Amino acid sequence: MTAWAQSLIRLTNYEVETLQKRMAEVAARRADAEMKLVILDAEAEAERGNATGDPQHALMLQAYMNGWKLRRAHSEGLLQALIREEEGARDALTAAFEELKKFEHVAEVSRLNARMAANRRENATFDEMGLRRRNGS
């Protein structure tokens, strides 16, 4: 394999690894955001339950629910942004992986072509030696 091909493959491998790390980081942030939504919903359900048994708590429930709606809307917005970021990271990773495979294919074809050319030269040398030997005898 030629030096340029090795360099391109190394660089593209590095890009793929970097994008894989980014993808994992975004997926972790997305899981955290989804968990935050689940926790918010569980907290709201608990507050509703507390309000049924305590009249004073029931009076404050509406204010709590207004704040909960704002926090939930904010969390949902963050989650949607993370989903879009994850899609972008996945697309970039797919493109980088395809590029890596192309470089590896080009490098392999170049290696095979070089080997075929070397075989042709070797065969031509042997043919010439055989002709000399036959003509010289």
Lowest-pLDDT range, 6-15, 39-48, 74-83? Answer: 6-15
Please state which of the four CATH numbers 1.10.287, 1.20.140, 3.40.50, 2.60.40 is assigned to the domain occupying 3-136. Answer: 1.10.287
**How far is CA 99 from each of CA 53, 93, 106, 127, rounded to the nearest angstrom?**
63, 10, 11, 42
List Cβ<8 Å contacts ≥24 apart for 35-38.
36/75, 37/72, 37/75, 37/76, 37/79
pLDDT tens-digit map of 53-100: 888 888 899 899 999 999 999 999 999 999 999 999 999 999 999 998
What is the share, in percent, of the chain residues with pLDDT greater than 90? 56
C-alpha closest to that of 27 among 95, 82, 76: 82
Tens digits of per-residue pLDDT, 46-57?
999 888 888 888
For the chain, the average pLDDT equals 90
Where along the chain do its domains lie? Answer: 3-136
The rounded Cα 11 to chain-centroid distance in angstroms is 16
Question: What pLDDT does residue 2 have?
Answer: 73
- Quote the CA–CA distance of 67 and 12 in Å, as a whole number: 47
Give this prediction's pTM. Answer: 0.70
What pLDDT was estimated at residue 40? 96
